[in-house]
Amino acid sequence: MLAKMTKKTALIVLGMHRSGTSSVAGALALAGAAAPKHLMPAAADNPKGFWESSAVADFNDRILNREGSNWHDWRAIPKAPLLADKSARNDAIDLLQDEFGDAAVIVLKDPRICRIFPLWRQALLEAGYNPLVVSPVRAPSEVAASLESRNALSRNHALRLWMRHVLDAEQASRGLDRRFVLWPDFLHQWRTVFDAINKLSATTLNLDDARSSEIDAFLSTDLRRQSDASPPPSAVARTYGLLAQLSRHGEHSDLHFALDDLRSDFDQACDLFSDAPR
């Protein structure tokens, strides 16, 4: 009931590293959603900015570290401790207040949230937000190429990381208003996505001519630097295909069941990897 009664909206950009999350979050901010107070500075690998809170990223790193994990770990994190940790949830609520104040509509983005979204989902609801999820999806081979270039991760490592983020994020965000979007499509068809968000949200994004022109300039084609058409392993390719169907056709129980099967198989396979990052 709380989510329906509130007038505040949290636009959560829930996606894997190097999947276009920064461009989606930046475009939402340009359309009127409040960006966080402590913006992470731009970098050579992301010259137009990350559009995420450095304070939120630090908090998420602490949560991952507490669970014996880190941002480049592909193993699952048990969900029950996240949901039971009232202290961490209160810290997340305090962070939301500090970063966004009383803004009516905010944009919250950090790829790490994919792995601990149960905690953030509950914190957002308790803080009086109506969560609306926007999930950018990029071809896993391109993500792997980008991570290899930026972080020197192996292709297999990056693909495992992609699987963990997208599968956990999809499962944990079910039941919320959400929209999956293929990132290359978003660069050219962002108006369609924002129109859909406006229909789901009580707060309307500003899509007047001036804002739209600014977003068009922001979403330039040079944002997409890596191109890799190498076929990924079959489980990765199937996951990407199912997410693409969610993007094109919307929610369907058959897609959820298929993704559940893939996540279960992946969780079991992770137990075989002795080289998981500690």
**Is 31 a residue whose pLDDT tops 80?**
yes
Q: Does a structural domain hold residue 275?
A: no
Tell me, yes or no, whether 14 lies in a domain.
Answer: yes
SS (H, E, C) the chain: CHHHHCCEEEEEECCCCCCCHHHHHHHHHHCCCECCCCECCCECCECCCCCCEHHHHHHHHHHHHHCCCCCCCCCCCCHHHHHHCHHHHHHHHHHHHHHHCCCCEEEEECHHHHHCHHHHHHHHHHCCEEEEEEEEECCHHHHHHHHHHHHCCCHHHHHHHHHHHHHHHHHHCCCCEEEEEEHHHHHHHHHHHHHHHHHHCCCCCCCCHHHHHHHHHHCCHHHCCCCCCCCCCHHHHHHHHHHHHHHHHCCCHHHHHHHHHHHHHHHHHHCCCCCCCC
Instruction: Give the model's confidence band at 225: pLDDT under 50 very low, under 70 low, under 90 confident, else very high.
Output: low
Per-residue pLDDT band for 158 (boundaries 50, 70, 90) equals very high
Instruction: Label residue 45 by pLDDT band (50, 70, 90).
Output: confident
Query: Which pLDDT belongs to residue 34?
Result: 97
pLDDT band at 274 (very low <50, low <70, confident <90, very high): low
Mean pLDDT of 83-90: 96
Judge contact between 64 and 77, C-beta under 8 A: yes
pLDDT at 55 over 80: yes
Structure tokens at 152: 């020197």
> What global pTM score does this model have?
0.93
In the predicted model, what is the mean pLDDT of residues 200-219?
89
User: Are 51 and 26 in contact, with CB atoms under 8 Å apart?
Assistant: yes
Examine the pLDDT at 128 and tell me if it is beyond 90.
yes
Average pLDDT score, the chain: 92
pLDDT at 108: 98
Cβ 232 vs Cβ 240: under 8 Å: yes
Of 38, 11, 18, 4, whose CA–CA distance to 151 is shortest? 18
- In the prediction, which pLDDT does 226 show? 58
Confidence of residue 2 (pLDDT cuts 50, 70, 90): very low
Average pLDDT over residues 21-35: 96
pLDDT band at 171 (very low <50, low <70, confident <90, very high): very high
Split at pLDDT 50, 70, 90, the class of 5 is: very low
pLDDT bin (cut points 50, 70, 90) of residue 1 is very low
Query: Of all residues in the chain, what percent carry a pLDDT higher than 70?
Result: 93
- Examine the pLDDT at 162 and tell me if it is beyond 60: yes
In a domain, 243, yes or no: yes
The answer to which of 80-94, 116-130, 138-152, 225-239 has the lowest mean pLDDT is 225-239
**Domain-embedded: residue 186:** yes
Query: Are the beta carbons of 158 and 143 closer than 8 angstroms?
Result: yes
For the domain that residue 253 is a member of, what is the CATH number? 3.40.50
| Cβ(170)–Cβ(259) below 8 Å | yes
Q: Region 230-254: what's the mean pLDDT?
A: 96
Q: Is the pLDDT of residue 57 over 50?
A: yes
Residue 276 lies in a domain: no
Whether 103 and 34 have beta carbons less than 8 Å apart is answered as yes
- For the cut 90, the answer to whether the pLDDT of residue 272 exceeds it is no
Total structural domains in the chain?
A: 1
Range of the domain at 70: 2-270
